[in-house]
Amino acid sequence: MGYLNNITVTVDAILTKKGRELLARNDGSFQITQFSLADDEIDYTLYNPNHPSGSAFYGEAIENMPVIEAFPDETQIMKYKLLTLPRGTAKLPVLELGFTTITLKQGASLSLTPQTLNYLGTDSTFEASGYTATIGDSRALSNFEGVGVNTSDAADLNTTSTIGTNVSRTVIGTTLNLTATTVNTLFGTSTTLNTILTVTGRDSGARLTIPVNITKVTT
């Protein structure tokens, strides 16, 4: 990772690991249909309305901050997407899964129903377009599905199988169903498989990433 020269305007576009997976399949599943913007690198506390040179310099420190070049780990970039909310909104929407960490024994199942807090004028609500969920290592789960959203995009993702090892999988739904793997050889000499689950509200842009731990059942 390096820094981009902020003297000139640079568009540094690369594929994430997930994008590379889809491209490598060569089955038409790699299709760019939308884009989003984020401000992960901006420290808004540097905005200085008391700058002695006047209002044109309030954001000088922010504008002179170095910009990090794009990198392919989708779990570490674009965590704070820009979104449009009604004027006067005092709180940003956040996701609630009911868990800060998910721990499952081999073969155990869990259903998650994400909720979005501070959204559309309510304390808690479900997003009409559902939620996008990505498991970092699909091998950790024997079943990972999203239900409750009946669109072609959701159907395509929810029926896509993964090929290879240590690849992620993404689904769409209002409810997420997880079942831990029963394959003992994945554990090697360890007693735990560790990965992450990232859930994003498809309307609000709110995002939450939590650890997922699968524990080996010994007999």
Predicted confidence band at 166 (pLDDT cuts at 50, 70, 90)?
low
End-to-end CA distance of the chain: 45
Highest mean pLDDT among 36-45, 60-69, 79-88, 190-199: 190-199
What number of other Cβ atoms are within 10 A of residue 109's Cβ? 12
Identify the CATH class of 94-215.
Answer: mainly beta
Count of residues in the chain: 219
CA 139 to chain centre: 18
Can you give the pLDDT at residue 162?
57
Q: Is the pLDDT of residue 167 over 90?
A: no
**39, pLDDT greater than 60:** yes
Q: Is 122 helix (H, G, I), strand (E, B) or coil?
A: strand
> For the whole model, what pTM was predicted?
0.73
The rounded distance, in Å, linking the Cα atoms of 172 and 154 is 5
210 — pLDDT class (breaks 50, 70, 90): very high
Sequence ranges of the domains in the chain: 1-82, 94-215
Please determine, for residue 163, whether its predicted confidence score (pLDDT) is greater than 60. Answer: no
Angle ∠(197,201,203) on CA atoms, nearest 5 = 160
CB 106 within 8 A of CB 190: no
Q: In the prediction, which pLDDT does 35 show?
A: 80
